[in-house]
């Protein structure tokens, strides 16, 4: 697959910056992305819909207000729609002349009048990200590495196992060839942690504001040069005993104690909100969160230029978590649906400040092992995300306001504890065990690259070394 994509990119673009307007000139690349979204959609099921009236579908009676889920995975893997569905074949989206053909059964962003609002922007950002990476790098499995499994596991989102890849630059980076914003680790991590069009939209805006500070850490990540063979053994003991690691893991796990999908149940069962308003009340906090996250990223980037990274990270995370906790405490003790909706929305807005720090902090403390720490937090997050709804079900047996108040209080306490732990143990400096010896260095050989040299913050190092 890669040679065909590279050949098409080289023949059409060469080394010129990519543009979304050129997608019609890159049919095979577009077909490849379509096949990726078909064979492994980010979510096996669409977001819940509800029947607005009694209806009949294929002989089945569907009462009003019934929740409906579209099985995206089943559609994409239907052999009647896509022959040999388990085979990765971008050619299925090309006609006889090699032009891209849109398939009506490809629905990774949902279907119906309420499809993902960010579908078009998500497709644009996905295309630009993939095109930029493929234009600049060649990816391959490390020597001796087994063929990766693509089975994964499906819950709310599709989870694939960690796959190690080696990369080889196709173009040498020089001072006259600036780093493209889409290569910043901040962008990649937000896209991973925010599935869907809104997440990618948030990532795109965040790149504009936050990439100047985050891209300066690119030289830390580039020391690997994608060569896994040269990588020393992962310091598992140091990772699992590092308080800074567990502080950022808790910061990333905390929001999974109350998934946004629970919000409709909270409003409908606590206050008897009509189904017509439940979607609005549950959607507004998410929109506020998505709008504020890039703004908090901008504030965080400005803070890092004037104070130390540790102080900036701690202040942003602690204030954000305490604001979330305070808003949820108010929501837990109110019986007014309007007050509850306002403070829940404020909590999600404050939650965006925590998210900015959680996304960036692993690159502060251990840029070389960021994927390992991210994998740990993802594993714990999925366990929490799957078990907490069961706890909610057990607590809200009678579906009363008092029972839901207990759920909200648990969430508030989790964020309060997160603020205390990150304030005490969080860090913005690279950990000693994560530093890497410089190759071809003069001196005693004990100096670690990427470590802090005196009072000079690592954000002030040159972006590209001579």
Task: Give the annotated binding-site residues for heme.
Answer: 116
In terms of Cβ atoms closer than 10 Å to its own Cβ (0-12, 13-18, 19+), residue 464 is: middle
* Nearest C-alpha neighbor of 217 from the set 331, 378, 363, 344: 363
**Measured between alpha carbons, how far is 345 from 353 in angstroms, rounded to an integer?**
14
Token digits for 248?
């950022």
The DSSP secondary-structure symbol of 268 reads H
What is the rounded CA–CA span in Å between residue 130 and residue 29?
A: 9
Q: What is d(CA 399, CA 393) in angstroms, rounded to the nearest whole number?
A: 9
State the DSSP string of 104-138.
TT--TT--STT--TTHHHHHHHHHHHHHHHHHHEE
Distances from the Cα of 101 to the Cα of 31, 34, 247, angstroms: 8, 10, 48
Signed CA dihedral, 111, 125, 385, 322: sign only: negative
Q: How far apart are CA 446 and CA 367, in angstroms?
A: 19
The alpha carbon of 11 is separated from its chain's Cα centroid by a whole number of angstroms, namely: 32
State the CB neighbour count (10 A cutoff) for residue 43: 19
> Are 28 and 4 spatial neighbours (Cβ–Cβ below 8 Å)?
yes
Largest interatomic CA distance in the chain: 79
Q: Which residues are annotated as a binding site?
A: 116
CA distances from 171 to 16, 91, 174, 178, 264 (A): 12, 28, 9, 12, 49
Give the residue among 102, 124, 97 at the shortest CA–CA distance from 38.
102
In terms of C-beta distances under 8 Å and separation of at least 24 residues, what long-range contacts does 417-422 make, across chains too? 418/250, 418/251, 418/254, 418/321, 418/354, 419/317, 419/318, 419/321, 419/322, 419/325, 421/246, 421/247, 421/250, 422/247, 422/248, 422/250, 422/251, 422/314, 422/317, 422/318, 422/321, 422/357
């Amino acid at each position: 697959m890669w040679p065909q994509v590279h050949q098409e990119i080289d023949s059409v673009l060469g080394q010129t910056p990519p543009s979304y307007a050129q997608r019609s000139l890159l049919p095979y690349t577009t077909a490849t992305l379509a096949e990726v979204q078909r064979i492994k959609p980010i979510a096996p099921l669409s977001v819940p819909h509800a029947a607005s009236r009694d209806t009949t579908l294929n002989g089945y009676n569907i009462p009003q207000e019934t929740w409906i889920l579209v099985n995206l995975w089943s559609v994409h893997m239907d052999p009647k729609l896509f022959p040999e569905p388990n085979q990765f074949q971008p050619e299925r989206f090309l006609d006889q002349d090699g032009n891209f053909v849109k398939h009506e059964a490809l629905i990774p962003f949902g279907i119906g009048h309420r499809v993902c609002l960010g579908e078009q922007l998500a497709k644009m950002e996905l295309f630009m990200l993939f095109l930029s990476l493929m234009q600049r790098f060649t990816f391959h499995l490390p020597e001796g590495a087994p063929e990766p499994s693509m089975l994964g596991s499906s819950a709310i989102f599709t989870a694939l196992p960690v796959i190690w890849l080696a990369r080889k630059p196709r173009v040498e980076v020089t001072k006259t060839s600036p780093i493209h914003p889409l290569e910043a680790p901040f962008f990649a991590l937000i896209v991973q942690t925010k599935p869907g069009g809104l997440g990618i939209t948030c990532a795109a805006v965040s790149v504009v504001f936050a990439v100047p500070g985050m891209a300066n850490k690119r030289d830390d990540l580039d020391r690997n040069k994608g060569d896994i063979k040269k990588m020393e053994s992962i310091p598992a003991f140091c990772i699992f005993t590092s308080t800074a690691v567990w502080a950022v893991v808790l910061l990333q796990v905390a929001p999974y104690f109350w998934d946004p999908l629970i919000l409709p149940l909270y409003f409908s069962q606590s206050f008897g909100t009509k189904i017509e308003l439940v979607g609005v009340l549950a959607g507004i906090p998410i929109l506020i969160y998505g709008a504020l996250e890039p703004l908090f990223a901008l504030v965080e980037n400005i803070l890092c230029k004037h104070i130390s990274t540790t102080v900036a990270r701690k202040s942003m995370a602690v204030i954000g978590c305490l604001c979330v906790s305070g808003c949820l405490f108010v929501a837990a003790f109110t019986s007014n649906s309007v007050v509850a909706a306002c403070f829940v929305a404020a909590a999600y807005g404050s939650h965006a400040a925590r998210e900015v720090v959680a996304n960036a902090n692993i690159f502060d403390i251990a840029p070389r092992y960021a994927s390992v720490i991210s994998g740990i937090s993802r594993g714990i997050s999925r366990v929490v995300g799957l078990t907490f709804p069961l706890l909610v079900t057990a607590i809200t047996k009678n579906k009363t306001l008092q029972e839901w108040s207990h759920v909200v209080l648990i969430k508030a306490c989790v964020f309060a504890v997160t603020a205390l732990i990150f304030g005490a143990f969080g860090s913005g400096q690279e950990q000693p065990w994560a530093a890497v010896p410089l190759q071809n260095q003069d001196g005693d050989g004990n100096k670690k690259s990427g470590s802090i040299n005196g009072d000079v913050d690592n954000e002030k190092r040159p972006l590209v070394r001579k």
